[in-house]
Amino acid sequence: MLSSKAPRSTATRLFAAGAVLTLGALSLSACGGSSPSASSTGTASGEKVGVSLIVKTTTNPFFVAMEDGAKKAAAAEGVDLKLAAGKADGDEDTQIQAIENAISKGDKGILITPNGPSVVDALKKAKDAGLFVIALDTPPDPADAADITFATDNFAAGELIGKWTAAQLEGKKATIALVDLFDDKVVSVDYNRDQGFLTGLGIDTADKKKNGDEAKTGKYTGGKGGEYEIVGSQASQGAEDGGRTAMETLLSKNPNINVVYTINEPAAAGAFEALKSAGKEKDVLVVSVDGGCPGVNNVKSGVIGATAQQYPVKMAELGVKAIVDLAKTGQKPANSPGLDFYNTGVELVTDKPVDGVKSITTTEASDICWGK
C-alpha cells in the first residue's frame, strides 16, 4: 500500500494514482455462468474464503513485505489466510507440502512464489482439485501450471539496469561479473533478469531462457558502445552471504571487474562487501533488482548504482482480491494486454539519471518502496 506522506513529487503522485487505479480496476474476464450473490466478507454461504500464501522464504525482506500485503488485504476482505514459506530460497519440498495442506483444507486458492520446477506437479494437482492458483513474482515453468501470474516484467527490469549501465560506461570496456540466483535449477526470474540486463547493455544473448551461453567477449552497443568481457556468473541463492562468496570467486578470476549485475539487493549488498574488502568498491558499478527500502537506501548511499523497483505488496493485494472476486462472482482475472501475465510495474531507481532511460530518484522511490 502507498504512504500518505506529503508533499510528494509529481512523479510519485502519478505512480501512486496509477497503483490505486490498478487495484480498483483489475481487469476481469467472465468465466461463464451467473454470478452468485455473496456477503462482503465471504462466499454466498457466508463462509470465509480460504487462501494460502506460499512464499520462497522469509529470510528475504521482499517476501516478508509480500506476506504483510496479503495479511492487510485478507483482513480487509475477510479472508481466512494461511502463510507458509520455504526454509531457504530453492526449498521446493516445504512448498510442495504447503500446497498439499491447502488442498486438504479445501482452500479456494493458492498464492505462490515458486521455488523451482519440482512444485509444478503439486500446483497441477491443486488446480485439478478446484483451487485457483496464482503465481506471484516468479511464473512457474510451464506458465500454465498457474492460472495467472502477478509479477514484475523481470526481463524489462533487467533491461532497465542494463541500459543505465551502458550509458554510465561512456564507451569504456565493461568487465562484467554476473551474480545470479541458482546454478542447480532453472527459474524464469533468474534468466529473465540476467538476460534482460545483457540485452539492455547491448550484448547479444543466445538462448534467452538460459544464462551463460552468450559470447564471453565482444562489443556492447548500449550507450556509446565499447568492448566487453564477461568474467563469469556465480550463484548467490539470492542471499547476502551468497552474494559475498560469489563476488569473491569472480574477483579471484579477474580483479579488474568494473560492472557487477546482481539478481537482487541482498546479493548486491554481499557483493559490495567483497568489493570493499578488496579495495574495489569505488571502481565498480553495481546494479540490481528489487527496490525495497533497504535497497533504495543502498542506492542513495552509493552501494548500488541503480536498481529496478518492483512491488510485492501490490502483487499480494491483487492476488488476494482476485481469489475473493472469483469466490463471490465466478469471474477470473486477466493478463495485461500483450503479455502472458499481469504486469505489476517496474521503475528504475537512481540518483544518477541518464538520457533516454526513464528513472525516479531515491527520494521518490523511498515513498513507494514495495508499495507502502
**pLDDT at site 207:** 94
**pLDDT at site 30:** 30
**What residues does CATH 3.40.50.2300 cover in the chain?**
10-152+312-333, 154-309+367-371
Q: What is the mean pLDDT of residues 211-230?
A: 98
Is the pLDDT assigned to residue 272 strictly greater than 90?
yes
| Whether the Cβ atoms of residue 144 and residue 85 lie closer than 8 Å to each other | no
Provide CATH code, domain 154-309+367-371: 3.40.50.2300
Q: How far is CA 241 from CA 223, 236, 259, 324, in A?
A: 32, 8, 19, 39
Is the pLDDT assigned to residue 12 strictly greater than 90?
no
Closest listed residue to residue 359, CA positions, set 19, 9, 4: 9
**pLDDT at site 38:** 37
The angle, 0 to 180 degrees and rounded to 10, between the axes of the packed helices 92-105 and 120-128 is 10
| Whether the Cβ atoms of residue 63 and residue 69 lie closer than 8 Å to each other | no
Q: What is the mean pLDDT of residues 269-285?
A: 97
Is the pLDDT assigned to residue 42 strictly greater than 60?
no
**pLDDT at site 199:** 98
61-104 pLDDT, tens digit each: 899 999 999 999 999 999 999 999 999 989 999 999 999 999 99
**pLDDT at site 372:** 58
Closest listed residue to residue 81, CA positions, set 56, 107, 101: 107
Rounded-to-integer distance, Cα 119 and Cα 170, Å: 44
pTM for this entry: 0.81
| Whether the Cβ atoms of residue 26 and residue 321 lie closer than 8 Å to each other | yes
161-206 pLDDT, tens digit each: 999 999 999 999 999 999 999 999 888 999 999 999 999 999 999 9
**pLDDT at site 371:** 67
Q: What residues contact residue 328 under an 8 Å CB cut-off, 6+ apart?
A: 35, 36, 38, 43, 44
| Whether the Cβ atoms of residue 217 and residue 307 lie closer than 8 Å to each other | no
Q: What residues contact residue 199 under an 8 Å CB cut-off, 6+ apart?
A: 155, 158, 159, 162, 205
- pLDDT confidence of 320, banded at 50, 70, 90? very high
Closest listed residue to residue 176, CA positions, set 287, 291, 296: 287
| Whether the Cβ atoms of residue 57 and residue 91 lie closer than 8 Å to each other | yes
Q: How far is CA 353 from CA 153, 160, 161, 252, 277, in A?
A: 21, 12, 11, 32, 28
Query: What three-state secondary structure class fits 69?
Result: helix
Beta-strand pair 109-112/49-55? parallel
126-167 pLDDT, tens digit each: 999 999 999 999 889 888 999 999 999 999 999 999 999 999
Q: Residue length, the chain?
A: 372
233-262 pLDDT, tens digit each: 999 999 999 999 999 999 999 999 999 999
Q: What is the mean pLDDT of residues 312-318?
A: 96
Rounded-to-integer distance, Cα 347 and Cα 225, Å: 24
| Structure-model confidence comparison of residues 26 and 321, the more confident one | 321
CATH level 3 topology of 10-152+312-333: Rossmann fold (3.40.50)
**pLDDT at site 128:** 97
Is the pLDDT assigned to residue 40 strictly greater than 60?
no
Rounded-to-integer distance, Cα 123 and Cα 100, Å: 9
